[in-house]
Structure 1
Amino acid sequence: MFKDRLDAAHQLTKALNKYEGQNPLVLAIPRGAVPMGVWMAQALHGEMDVVLVRKLSAPFQPEVAIGAVDETGLAYLSPFAAAMGINPQYVKDEIQRQMKTLKSRRQQYSQIRAPIPVQGRVVIVVDDGLATGATMMSALKALRQHHPQRLVCAIPVASPEALAKIQPLADETVCLSAPEDFMAVAQFYQQFPQVDDAQVLALLQPKFSA
């Protein structure tokens, strides 16, 4: 159990302290992980940015992920998506919906500063937890194409199934807990408030992320 996201970030940083002094690039998955990424980058004496991916939601069940898409349009679909009998047109429409959100966020974030290049860097991708692992899988696949020196996945908690899916996609995976009774990320936090766009934009200001 974590007190809040900053408590989780503090514990993750301890597990990642070997990267202190290597100027790691900490990439947070918006929105929940952004406060974590800011704290971790400062503690590790690195830089912080975001990696933009979006969950693809199941019909009539927006909390259920059937996959994810990155800002280039590359989509990952969970194997069970086909088993659910989801209409292919729904999937195409959902990808387009989420791409609009990604483009809007990139436009907002770019007004603050340009994305930090990944190539040749130690890159630590952080999220506040993994249920299906779809967004983290999408993020890791997208980042691998930009040739980081080392690609690290860092999460406080994950379902065992999600952890097994993402481990082959990273050079190293740091996960503090993968309990068998996992039902939702929020169950492992005493405080788990929503992080809104205004908070993300404020945290991306250079005074926070430098």
Structure 2
Amino acid sequence: MFDGPIFRDRREAGRVLASRLERYRDERPVIFALPRGGVPVGYEISRALGAPLEVIVARKLGAPGQPEFGIGAIAPGVRVLNEEAVRRLGIPEDYIERVTERETREMERRLRRFRGDRPEPEVRDRTVILVDDGLATGVTARAAIRALRRREPRRLVLAVPVCAAQTAQVIRPLVDDFVCPATPPDLGAIGFWYENFEQVSSEEVAELLEEARRLFSGERDGG
């Protein structure tokens, strides 16, 4: 039962998570945030742990006529499909290919927007903390987890302020640690759990990433 917001905004949610992630400080983690909403959360974790902040872009694959209903998701190098939903809705393969191509173009556009021509950070044998502002179905997070696993981190941690209880059960085994203060059985909309859940602009994302790069440029270069 929903009983009111528990976070003032994404920045406060990030500080709450940071306090629970303090044990990873000495492992020199790399923070990967899902834009746009995950970046303000990840920025606070980055500041608190003295860790570099990066983005990983994952895009939901929407059902025909129901773009908010995810039948899968993509992240760099991977595609995750909800096979049961695809069968139940009778979605043809050519539709899946078309929506995959469209979302891949958008994913690549956002990566260029937020990363520019900088190379991806080396995370092999390092601790990676994946961050978002909340999970409902978790389909985009699953794609991001799979993409990050391909890069062979030593440890992969998923940290989100709020997650649907059923989704938490599914996603917890996919990571080495799952940090989430709230796993309500009736999630509703993620925004219900925040007093301020205004949309995050691309400009704000770019500004936070640039600020994090200024703070941790030495760490990012391996110094």
Same fold (TM over 0.5): yes
What is the rounded CA distance, in whole Å, between the counterparts of 1:63 and 1:190 in structure 2?
A: 23
Deviations 1:97-154 (A, max 9, x none): 1100111122223326332122111100001011111011111111111110110010
What is the rounded CA distance, in whole Å, between the counterparts of 1:44 and 1:161 in structure 2?
A: 30
Q: Residue 22 of structure 1 contacts residue 46 of structure 1 at CA under 8 Å; is this kept in 2?
A: no
1:107 to 112, 124, 127: 112
- CA positional deviation for 1:27: 0.4
Q: Secondary structure at the match of 1:157?
A: coil
| TM-score, normalisation: structure 2 | 0.88
| Aligned counterpart, 2:220 | none
| Aligned counterpart, 1:207 | 214
| TM-score, normalisation: structure 1 | 0.93
Are residues 1:159 and 2:160 paired? no
Are residues 1:135 and 2:140 paired? yes
More strand by share: 1
Q: Residue 24 of structure 1 contacts residue 41 of structure 1 at CA under 8 Å; is this kept in 2?
A: no
Are residues 1:174 and 2:179 paired? yes
What is the rounded CA distance, in whole Å, between the counterparts of 1:75 and 1:162 in structure 2?
A: 18
| Aligned counterpart, 2:221 | none
- CA positional deviation for 1:196: 1.9
| Aligned counterpart, 1:77 | 81
Q: Residue 7 of structure 2 contacts residue 194 of structure 2 at CA under 8 Å; is this kept in 1?
A: yes
What is the rounded CA distance, in whole Å, between the counterparts of 2:104 and 2:111 in structure 1?
A: 10
Cα RMSD after superposing both structures = 1.5
Are residues 1:190 and 2:191 paired? no
Paired residue type of 2:140: T
> Given the superposition, is the C-alpha separation of residues 49 and 209 from structure 1 closer, same or farther in structure 2, using an over 3 Å criterion?
farther
- CA positional deviation for 1:181: 1.3
Q: Secondary structure at the match of 1:131?
A: coil
Q: Residue 25 of structure 1 contacts residue 46 of structure 1 at CA under 8 Å; is this kept in 2?
A: yes
| Aligned counterpart, 1:64 | 69
- CA positional deviation for 1:209: 5.8
What is the rounded CA distance, in whole Å, between the counterparts of 1:208 and 1:192 in structure 2?
A: 26
Paired residue type of 1:43: A
Q: Residue 120 of structure 1 contacts residue 148 of structure 1 at CA under 8 Å; is this kept in 2?
A: yes
| Aligned counterpart, 1:150 | 155
What is the rounded CA distance, in whole Å, between the counterparts of 2:47 and 2:117 in structure 1?
A: 19
Q: Secondary structure at the match of 2:54?
A: strand
Query: Is there any run of 5+ residues in structure 1 with no aligned partner, and where?
Result: none
Matches within 5 A, 1:33-72: 33-72=38-77
Query: Is there any run of 5+ residues in structure 2 with no aligned partner, and where?
Result: 1-5, 218-223
> Given the superposition, is the C-alpha separation of residues 7 and 148 from structure 1 closer, same or farther in structure 2, using an over 3 Å criterion?
same
Paired residue type of 1:203: L
Per mean C-alpha deviation after superposition, the further-off stretch among 76-85 and 169-178 is 76-85
> Given the superposition, is the C-alpha separation of residues 54 and 208 from structure 1 closer, same or farther in structure 2, using an over 3 Å criterion?
farther
What is the rounded CA distance, in whole Å, between the counterparts of 1:181 and 1:110 in structure 2?
A: 36
Aligned residues: 209
Structure whose CA Rg is larger: 2
Deviations 1:168-200 (A, max 9, x none): 110111111111111221111111111122222
What is the rounded CA distance, in whole Å, between the counterparts of 1:112 and 1:34 in structure 2?
A: 19
